[in-house]
Amino acid sequence: MIPFLARRLMWFAITLFTVMFVSFFLMRSVKGGPFDNERQLDAGVQATIEAEYHLDWPMWKQFAQYVGPLNLDDDGWFGEGETEGSAPFTGVLSGDFGPSFRYRDFSVNDIIGQALPISMLLGIVSMMWALALGISTGIASAIRRGTGLDLSMRLAATAGIALPNFVIASFLIILFVFLVPLFPVAGWGRLEHMILPGFCLGLVFAAYISRLTRTGMLEALSQDYIRTAHAKGLAPRTVIMRHALKGGLLPVVSYLGPATAGILTGSLVIERIFFIPGLGSHFVNSASNRDYTLAMGVTILYTVLVYGLNTVVDLAYTLLDPRIDLSES
């Protein structure tokens, strides 16, 4: 276990630095800047603003200062009277993602701190929908293989994968907001605000989970130990829930790592449709506004979530299947 975690930690550092390096230079290479949408500024004022945020530095020096904590002057070291921490931000390694270029009164840490809990709560509701629908329909489809129920479940899963979530959301809004007014159309703060957007966001993931559960269950049900359990006279429900389900859920567990990270960071479309102030909207707005620090902060957060959750998935493998040896991973 310890060698496995040590290797993962080493690769995490390499992965995070690579993502930061590539993202940083890709964003800086795109034409335009964070202040291009402002009214035309005097050349002196523009130079002052760029100097304040160190946008007048060479790109390599901006990256070094962003990773930090390195406050470099034009000669490569601290300027006269300048000390570490006097720059707009002290570096990602110190836990500071810097000031937002668009939201001038907020730092990136403030924005993420406000938006991430909302996206996480929406993601939890969505994942509950996805797991409940996906696993139950996948098990039913595998048990009734080749029947009309199996065919209808597979068609529904295929439709869920193929249809964009904004189409599903639009249809459900018409049905459950206007025709049968059960839920509010927008807003956030109460339980009824979470049910409909959570279902719309989780439905696509439920379709994938259903297909993966069906595939895993079919493979598990064909194993010798399942036939032995049936031969011993165990009830079909006991065989499925206590013996086959563990092996059948292995493909689902593999999928849950990146899926959970994707859900937790929010869905722009769903958040826009239901006017939810989550992290997804800030992420896309940061790209259109050239808000470098906010875009980098969300990208780094997403990288940490994906890597961390995938590591948790690998650890969960040993609980579901003791035959898996993490020392070889």
CATH code for the domain of 190: 1.10.3720.10
Global pTM reads: 0.74
Q: Would residue 179 count as lying in a domain?
A: yes
Average pLDDT, the chain: 80
Looking at the structure of the chain, the number of domains it has is 2
List, in sequence order, every residue forming a beta bridge with 99; answer none if it has no partner: 107
Q: What is the mean pLDDT of residues 126-139?
A: 92
Q: Which two tokens stand for residue 212?
A: 């993966």
The reply to whether 231 and 93 lie within a common domain is no
Task: Report the SS3 class of residue 107.
Answer: strand
pLDDT at 152 over 80: yes
Q: What is the mean pLDDT of residues 269-286?
A: 82
Between 226 and 40, the higher pLDDT residue: 226
Domain boundary among 72, 101, 130: 101
Q: Where are the alpha helices (DSSP H) in 222-291?
A: 224-231, 236-238, 245-248, 250-264, 268-273, 279-288
Q: Which domain holds residue 62?
A: 36-101
Interior/surface letters 174-188, b for 16+ CB within 10 angstroms, e for the rest: eebeeeeeebeeeeb
Interior/surface letters 273-283, b for 16+ CB within 10 angstroms, e for the rest: bbebebbbbbb
Q: What is the mean pLDDT of residues 257-268?
A: 72
Spatial distance between the Cα atoms of 178 and 174, rounded to a whole number of angstroms: 5
Among all chains, which residue has been given the structure tokens 């007014």?
181
pLDDT value at position 35? 62
The reply to whether 88 and 116 lie within a common domain is no
Domain boundary among 51, 71, 101: 101
Domain boundary among 54, 78, 101: 101
Between 73 and 22, the higher pLDDT residue: 22
The reply to whether 178 and 288 lie within a common domain is yes
Q: Would residue 31 count as lying in a domain?
A: no
The reply to whether 185 and 253 lie within a common domain is yes
Confidence of residue 151 (pLDDT cuts 50, 70, 90): very high
